[in-house]
Structure 1
Amino acid sequence: MIEDKNPQRTALENLGEFGLIKHLTQHFELNHESSLKGIGDDAAVLDFKNKKAIVSTDMLVEGVHFDLSYMPLKHLGYKSVIVNLSDIYAMNATATQVTVSIAVSNRFPLEALEEFYEGVAMACKMYNVDLVGGDTTSSAKGMIISITAIGVAEEADIVYRCDAKPNDLLVVTGDLGGAYLGLQVLDREKEVFKVNPNNQPDLEPYSYIVERQLKPEARKDIVELLEKLEVKPTSMIDISDGLSSEILHLCNQSEVGCNLFEDKIPLDPTVISASEEFKMDSTMIALSGGEDYELLFTIDQKDFDKIKGNPNLTVIGHIAPEEEGVHLITRANTKIALTAQGWNSFTS
């Protein structure tokens, strides 16, 4: 395909704020009964009848959370929604609505925002959520995204971080470390491109981990699976900042200790080979990498037979009394105190 060297660029000032919102959201439809009024009034109107509403909000800043030199805007729109839906699923709830607000500098034409909203629309369709509001404004520099996700659950089904108890099993979904290594691959290829712009990267061997970074998926399927298996977790959290940080959050909130077994941490073969290539320790990447958006939860031991052998779920440890502390049991059977080394946006 021949690249268009002069793509159409429509300045945002030609539309104005309300014209821009109307243009970008014109094809979004409301599919949930709870979405009484979406975009077009002073506020959205939602009706959840007798259920509890779950609300989560997140902000993404260019240069801190994403790099547009390798993050396509369509992927960014998709990922922005997904990372917020993950928080709703971590409460064992069903995501129903989102609001999307963006601030952009004048280097972004209308066509760029259309691409971003294509990704938002795809996420809304894939996860069956309604876009019911948001805002657009100008930014002095770059792009800022703020998304609020809204979900619904019966009060009895909601799972918090604070109810894990000693002898519960610690369970994780999927595999870990891929997103962080995908970021390492993209950063490396960016540096190569700076030196030699004619060099086209071959990302095929890294397709799984690159996709884990650019287009993650939220684990809506796990909430549905647990309901089918008749398993209600005793506590749950999503893995956005690395496994060690999330285990410590869960233990602190529940006032318990934990033993995590290194040889049980699920790693994709691509993660293991890429770790070796980058001369990194795969366990450390799983513990500290972040952005995997898997779910970490605890279950009562009596529910073990219900999840045993399920390819989506791995038991990686067990909860201990608080005075025992939080430890990693290494492959060599050494006990190491677990520390939070997850990603921190406030460090330079």
Structure 2
Amino acid sequence: MFDNKEKTNIEALGEFGLINHLTKNIQLVQKSTLKGVGDDAAVLDPQGKKVLVSTDMLLEGIHFDLAYTPLKHLGYKAVQVNLSDIYAMNAIATQVTVSIGLSSRFPIEAIEEIYEGIYIACEKYGVDVVGGDTTASKQGLVISVTSMGYANPEDITYRDGAQEGDLICVSGDLGGAYVGLQLLEREKLVYLENPNIQPDLEGKDYIVERQLKPEARRDIVELLKDIDVKPTSMIDVSDGLASEILHICKQSNKGCSLYEEKIPIDPMTYETAREFGLDPTVCALSGGEDYELLFTVKQADYEKIKFKMDISIIGHITEPASGYNLISKSGNVHPITAQGWNAFPTNNSDQTNS
């Protein structure tokens, strides 16, 4: 988990000293940030826009496993999963707060690695860190990030706006994060049985990165704005395609038809899923953690999006009575059910995707 260089105990700095140490080099880039870290509260100026706020918590042993998750990647991912929620509202994220609970087994150098990943993500996406907290934890490492963003009222997109006949679109490709997780879990078991065996991840960089270092899709929000397309509904794919399309349909009081052959699956995801004896389509439907954007658009916008490289049209919205259906490659119709991530599993087994 950590390298063998000399470690510094957190007690050497104390809570406020640690906060100062971690935040001393923050550079603010957003005009809407009037006051960031250093006072009792941040001061933000919406500049006439609506404010969007979202919070996610990542728990060690539930959402991540430090046996194969580099701390820098963990910090990066913690930010990304929160920014994704803002982009899923067709808005742009501008600020985050970061709170961490940690045990004494983590030296300052480990926390620095986490924050290095946090700052890399924030710099890449033009987001300011404006506050947070650190505290002791007896339950392992806990990271909680709150993201904030702004949008003009007319641009905000909710889950409940899908209309009959709308096209169902998704960015990127699906299932990669889940298959990457299966690969990492397999290599962990091999290592535990024989620590002398090195992980065999050669040629699998893409799906491993999909799990450990996801990228929120701000570029899709910007693209839609550039081509003058306002989605009628939108959500990010954190719990699997099936779960997310059901959220849109149920909140919009509509049905849907998805076409299996249209669901974008990367060749590496497809091949690796088959190696594990998994159905690639099921991985895309139920895997989760892809953090792509699933959205609906009016049929009149078809010409604007049909040739966009990173957007796939995978189905359409139907009347409520039609239900929620997947049309297989062979033409059979299957009802869509949500079998993705469950935040409160009924058994005692740990889940490591979120």
TM-score scaled to structure 2, two decimals?
0.96
Give the alignment of 1:109-120 within 5 angstroms. Answer: 109-120=107-118
CA shift digits 1:87-128 (9 cap, x unpaired): 000001010000000000110010000000000000000000
Aligned residues: 346
CA distance in 1, matches of 2:343, 2:177: 16
CA distance in 1, matches of 2:135, 2:11: 11
1:269 is the counterpart of 2:267: yes
The equivalent of 1:70 in structure 2 is 68
CA distance in 2, matches of 1:337, 1:124: 40
CA shift digits 1:253-281 (9 cap, x unpaired): 10100000111000100011001100000
Deviation >6 Å, runs of 4+ = none
Q: Which one of 198, 201, 223 corresponds to residue 199 of structure 2?
A: 201
The equivalent of 2:52 in structure 1 is 54
> Alignment partner of 2:134: what SS?
strand
Q: Which one of 19, 22, 25 corresponds to residue 24 of structure 1?
A: 22
CA shift digits 1:158-189 (9 cap, x unpaired): 00000000000000000000000000000000
State the one-letter code of the partner of 1:290.
G
State the one-letter code of the partner of 1:18.
F
CA distance in 2, matches of 1:91, 1:102: 26
Q: Which one of 174, 177, 185 corresponds to residue 176 of structure 1?
A: 174
| Structure 1 stretches lacking a partner, 5+ long | none
> Alignment partner of 2:161: what SS?
coil
The equivalent of 1:154 in structure 2 is 152
Change beyond 3 A, Cα 1:5–1:139: closer
Q: Is the 8 A contact 2:167 2:315 kept in 1?
A: yes
State the one-letter code of the partner of 2:227.
L
1:302 is the counterpart of 2:297: no
Q: Which one of 290, 294, 304 corresponds to residue 292 of structure 1?
A: 290
Q: Is the 8 A contact 2:260 2:327 kept in 1?
A: yes
Q: Is the 8 A contact 2:26 2:129 kept in 1?
A: yes
The equivalent of 1:258 in structure 2 is 256
CA distance in 1, matches of 2:179, 2:281: 12
The equivalent of 2:125 in structure 1 is 127
> Alignment partner of 2:204: what SS?
helix
Give the alignment of 1:329-348 within 5 angstroms. Answer: 329-347=327-345, 348=347
CA distance in 2, matches of 1:319, 1:120: 38
Q: Which one of 98, 104, 113 corresponds to residue 100 of structure 1?
A: 98
CA distance in 2, matches of 1:89, 1:66: 23
> Shift of residue 5 of structure 1?
6.5
Q: Is the 8 A contact 2:187 2:200 kept in 1?
A: no
State the one-letter code of the partner of 2:335.
A
CA distance in 2, matches of 1:167, 1:5: 55
The equivalent of 2:276 in structure 1 is 278
Q: Is the 8 A contact 2:264 2:312 kept in 1?
A: yes
Change beyond 3 A, Cα 1:100–1:154: same
The equivalent of 1:136 in structure 2 is 134
Q: Is the 8 A contact 2:101 2:141 kept in 1?
A: yes
CA distance in 2, matches of 1:5, 1:182: 24
Change beyond 3 A, Cα 1:166–1:214: same
> Alignment partner of 1:204: what SS?
coil
State the one-letter code of the partner of 1:141.
Q
The equivalent of 1:166 in structure 2 is 164
TM-score scaled to structure 1, two decimals?
0.98
CA distance in 2, matches of 1:87, 1:300: 22
